[in-house]
Amino acid sequence: MPESQPRVAGVRLASTDAAIRYRERDDLVLLALPEGATTAAVFTRNAFCAAPVVTARAHLGHTPPLYLLINAGNANAGTGRRGMADAEVCCASLAEAAGCAPEQVLPFSTGVIGEYLPVERIAVALPALVADLTECGWEAAARAIMTTDTRPKLAMRQADLGGRLATVVGMAKGSGMIRPDMATMLAFVATDATVPADVLDDMLRRAVAESFNSISVDGDTSTNDACLLSATGSLPGDAVSAGSAAAAALYAAIAEVCAELASAIVADGEGATKLVTIEVTEAETDAEARLVADTIAHSPLVKTALFASDPNWGRILAAVGRAGVEALDIGRVRIWLDDCPIVSDGGRDPDYTESAGQAVMGRDAFRIRVSLGRGEGAVRVLTCDLSYDYVRINAEYRS
């Protein structure tokens, strides 16, 4: 988390306790954008996408948003027509309180699936939220959107746009049901630069591919995943144009913010004790490399070995072998734990020792490296271990 108070000129936030599910903590956030801001978004591809996802996607296609309304504790997913109506009612209630059109509001929800949203509690809280908006509200908002998260996730970077210093701030929530198929549970990133919508959309999609779409806690894609990137245009100067040095600098800052938030989500995975980077190289294609990396990242046997700090490397070898790589030559496959070689020439590497493997697996963070010996495809995926606490947290989630 940044040491200084994060803020983006033009972005204002407020948080409050609406008693949606939790007690004695904030669970409702309002984020306000200025007129003229541009916004890009990516959403879950889960067929049972939540009502707020459907509504936000539709509103975003109609007009640029002025407000994001985010609640924790209730996903408003699997709620049918009533859920859709509830999402629209929330947007209409905020529009009345803020003096905008309902289509200028994007709703977001996270929490328990299959329960109806307490619309009345949310509506009552909105006037005070509008009145409390401040540019210094990022930290409180990052806490308010948490569910099973143990800590808020907030990141900040700056980019030199040819003598103009642009700021990028992002917050995210996510700890379980994490295997995004577009972004993460919820993530909101903003910059004060002026960025055309098409350039912003390209930046978001590239950053998401390298960060939120390359993490896994438990292999489950949520019904509510969403990631937004907004540019307020509050920084004086020209707009960032595609292919420019300014665009490259700004994208680097956005990518770093997304990468930090994605890493924080995995490190805070439900019950997680280890942060593990899976690097697959020398695949025929990047897609093939991703297939292998995901198979390792999603394997319960691999993940429980990670939790036990047990260098049971046969589980990693087996995951590579069952990943579905066509005509895989196992004699060319090499596997390492950090720099400790464990597999080569179709079996155990002659230089491998159990003590060396144990030393790596005992660390809080390390890499599993796999070289397929087939081409130039490569990918990097972050994952974590599977502990007793993951089962406990999810078994008790609705209690």
Q: Work out whether the CA dihedral 61, 51, 14, 142 comes out positive or negative.
A: negative
**Distance (Å, whole) CA 370 – CA 276:** 13
Token pair 């049971």 in the structure block, residue = 312
**DSSP letter, residue 134:** B
Angle between helices 51-60 and 80-98 (to 10 degrees): 50
For 309, phi then psi, to 5°, come to 55, 35
**Distance (Å, whole) CA 230 – CA 232:** 6
For this structure, is 223 an active site residue? Answer: no
Burial class (CB in 10 A: 0-12, 13-18, 19+), 386: buried
What is the amino acid identity at position 382?
A: L
Angle between helices 300-308 and 314-321 (to 10 degrees): 160
For residue 120, give both structure tokens.
Answer: 């009345």
Catalytic residue among 110, 147, 167, 184: 184
**Smallest Cα–Cα separation from 308: which of 386, 394, 215, 368?**
386
Q: How far out from the chain centre does Cα 219 lie?
A: 14
Known catalytic residues? Answer: 184
